[in-house]
Amino acid sequence: MGCCALCKSEADLIDSHLIPKSAYKHLRGLPENGGGSPIRIDGGQGNASQSDLQITQYLLCRVCEDLFSKHGEKVIGRLWGTHSGFPLVNQLLACEVRGSHEGYSLHDHSVLDRKDVDGLIYFALSIFWRAHVWNWTGKTDPYKKALGSKYEQEIREFLLGLQSLGDMLLMLNVNTNAELNSFARLPQAYRKNGVTHHVFSLLGIEFSLFLGGSISPEQRSLMGQDKVLFATSDIAKTNVFNGLSQFVQTKISVKGKLKDKMPIRARGSSS
């Protein structure tokens, strides 16, 4: 028995996953290449290794676990990038381009299935919320309670169906480079040019969350009532991926057999 972090009821808690259990098989290497374990980069500990370790914790009651599964995880499980295909990028590339900038193309997502859009929003906010309330140990906490008490409560009530989205914007950048979909990045928050970025990546989709004053006037002019924007890009050619590559090469100690494979120069990066 314990207190469910979402509904706050006393109940038998489920051993919940931070990243959906179903994602891990898609993060492994191709079967014809040996099906290697996913590469895990731990910024807190400053190391990288190949590991099948799944991040779990007794966090939610059965009812709330089912909420997350029904409203978010089942939806993204139909849309993310795997070795056999990437339904979401195919759908977006068929949508009208509203504008392009520095390798990113912003798409009109009004033709996407409304249930899919709502499910992606729900899933993303559930991951940011889980990272915030997670009982991290040692130096591994990549998120550091970044939502703050106000937005943690607002998102918790949204996930419970008690209120609509508050003053926030979610941006989904969907990768067009099929070679770089088997990738996961745990939620983290960082400040750049006075703006706090909340971000995580999973199987070809980068989720970025902006809260309150961090939403720029330009972003507000582009976002609709659903408070979400969809873009596509070749992740290997973006500043985000090249920044991560530089971080791995300069800040991360590589362990085990991974030493033979890293550091890696990102495709499209300058020499």
- pLDDT tens per residue across span 206-217: 999 999 999 999
How much is the pLDDT for 31? 59
Q: Measuring CA to CA, how many Å separate 99 from each of 89, 208, 217, 222, 231?
A: 17, 19, 16, 10, 9
Q: Is the peptide bond before 38 cis (omega within 30 degrees of 0)?
A: no
Rounded Cα gap, residues 47 and 254, in angstroms: 6
- Alpha-carbon dihedral sign for residues 189, 190, 195, 197: negative
Would you say residue 53 has pLDDT above 90? no
Kindly report, residue by residue over 95-104, the tens digit of the pLDDT. Answer: 999 998 888 9
Percent of the chain with pLDDT over 90: 60
So where are the chain's domains? 2-260
Going by C-alpha positions, the residue among 205, 153, 241 that lies closest to residue 20 is: 205
Backbone angles phi, psi at 211, to 5 degrees: -120, 135
Determine the average pLDDT of the residues in 14-43. 77
Over residues 130-148, the pLDDT tens digits come to 999 999 876 567 888 999 9
User: What does pLDDT average to over the chain?
Assistant: 85
What span, in angstroms and rounded, lies between the C-alpha atoms of 171 and 143?
A: 18
Residue 264 has pLDDT above 50, yes or no: no
Q: What value does the CA radius of gyration of the chain take, rounded to a whole number of Å?
A: 18
